[in-house]
Amino acid sequence: MHGLEQANTNVSFTSMPHGGAGAHPSGRILLVTPQPFYEDRGTPIAVAETCRALGELGYEVDLLAFPVGEDRRIASVTTHRCANPLGIRSVPIGFSLGKCVLDAALLRAFERLLRARSYGLVHAVEEAAYMASFLCPRFGKPYIYDMASSIPAELRAHWLLGAPGMHRMLAAMERRVLERASHVVCSAGLGDRIRGVAPGVAYTEWRFPGVVGAVDERTVRELRVSLGIERGARVVLYSGNFARYQGVDLLFEAFARALREDPSLVLVCVGASAAARDEVLARCADRVRSRVRILTRQPRHTMPAYFALADCLISLRPNNHNLPLKVFDYMAAGKPIVATRGPAHEPVLNGERAFMCDPHVDSIAAAMLGVFRSATHGQRVAESARRYAQRQFGWRSFLRLVEGVYGRVLHDGREARALS
């Protein structure tokens, strides 16, 4: 048994070997994420990248996550998992009763770790920041709010939590969480929300490095054959889950319309659940279904092969304000991107780096077809995005961003203690 368990904290965890530049003089960091860890999807990927960066910067990190997901070894990181009273095996994206149960277990584990160990700083992801706003002041610990989305805005359409009274309560809670945070790191596109809710709160927008990897022609050719895509077909690729906010219904309608003008198009989707795949295919007309390939979630390290297969990459966020992590991957891939206009994409994409469209079927279909109207123009747009990503979103840039945020919060904390 590990010493932490012997201290009767009831926090189960998997210990990972430490490495990096050694213990940081400001002590350990507690990073709390109300997510499965690890899974190849947005927030867990972002958490893994953040942990890796903190390890390389010399911090020792305790990562507290749900008791679901794969063990992932990251230098200088020890993974802790909260209790699982109902034996939950998977956590869907979005609000669910199962997630509420695990959130309650996470809160208990969060408090026990704060009692058992000394931390220089807490990094709280999504609703864990609401827990941090309650716990951290009691323990005299600063916290960073890692804001992947605005929770009141995400729940606005919920039958109960979106009701006027509940919405006002959630909005008031969000304001308190933002105002109590020492710093906010958020998805690009959420800056306007933060300024509107809590003016004056210091925030930094995340800029993650895209996944890159050398892919040889044989690998791409074999992938094409395995998917039954004929030579000469033009591949439009979407990666991500099939949640409503992704605009998947718009994607399929727009693809069906574009297919009428260009029968060589093939739509490849990577990241659907098996149930979502079957449901979408059942709704497709035979003509469209024969030109669609839907795959379940693939390991992230394999995605460069799918990007290399594609002639066009697409991301639709019709009613969402936070930049999807996959856009960083898309830009690094050097392939033409089709993206909807609005705060979810325009922090990094514009008419020079993507084929921008409105969140309407005709506009999306026109943008898809526009990619193939001029190969020279399409490649110029793709190369512009790739060069921008290399300059702005490389690993060194990400390290500097994390170092700047943590250095500022810890420095401010030391000054506050010196003055007290």
- The answer to whether residues 100 and 86 belong to one domain is yes
Looking at the chain, the whole-number percentage of residues with pLDDT higher than 90 is 74
Question: Is the same domain home to 202 and 241?
Answer: no
Are 225 and 362 members of one domain? yes
Same domain, 181 and 197: yes
pLDDT at 321: 81
Q: Are residues 232 and 199 in the same domain?
A: no
Would the pLDDT of 364 be above 50?
A: yes
Query: Model's pTM, two decimal places?
Result: 0.85
State the amino acid at position 139 in one-letter form.
F
Task: Indicate whether 371 and 252 sit together in one domain.
Answer: yes
Does residue 47 sit in the same domain as residue 150? Answer: yes
263/339 same-domain check? yes
Task: Kindly state the tokens that stand for 83.
Answer: 């209790």
Residue 243 and residue 199 in one domain: no
Condensed to tens digits (0 to 9), the pLDDT of residues 96-119 reads: 888 999 999 999 999 999 999 999
Contact 87, 109 (CB under 8 A): no
Total domains in the chain come to 2
Q: Could you tell me if 377 and 403 lie in one domain?
A: no
- According to the model, what pLDDT value does residue 415 have? 52
Q: Are strands 28-32 and 119-125 parallel, antiparallel or unpaired?
A: parallel
Helix axes 248-261, 361-373, angle to 10 degrees: 50
Of the candidates 290, 397, 287, 408, which has an alpha carbon nearest to the alpha carbon of residue 53? 397
pLDDT, mean of residues 42-60 = 95
Reported as half-sphere exposure (CB side, CA atoms, 13 A), residue 324 has a value of 24
Select the highest-mean-pLDDT range: 4-8, 89-93, 152-156, 313-317: 313-317
- Amino acid 413: pLDDT: 62
CB neighbours of 314 closer than 8 A, spacing ≥ 6?
236, 237, 238, 251, 337, 338, 339, 364, 368
User: 337-340 and 312-315 as β-strands: parallel, antiparallel, unpaired?
Assistant: parallel
- CATH code at 411? 3.40.50.2000
Percent of all residues in the chain with a pLDDT value above 70, rounded to a whole number: 92
Tell me what pLDDT residue 159 has.
Answer: 73
pLDDT of res. 10: 36
* Range ranked top by mean pLDDT from 122-136, 207-221, 405-419: 122-136
Confidence check: pLDDT of 7 > 60: no
Domain check: are 28 and 13 in the same one?
yes
The residues facing 357 across adjacent strands are 340
Nearest to 69 by CA among 100, 94, 95, 48: 48
Same domain? For 87 and 169 the reply is yes
Tell me the per-residue pLDDT of 373-399, one tens digit each, with 9 for 90 and over: 999 999 999 999 999 999 999 999 999
Which residues span the domain enclosing 260? 217-392
| Banded model confidence at residue 412, pLDDT cuts 50, 70, 90 | confident
The length of the chain in residues reads: 420
Instruction: Point out the least confidently predicted range of 1-10, 24-33, 112-121, 245-254.
Output: 1-10
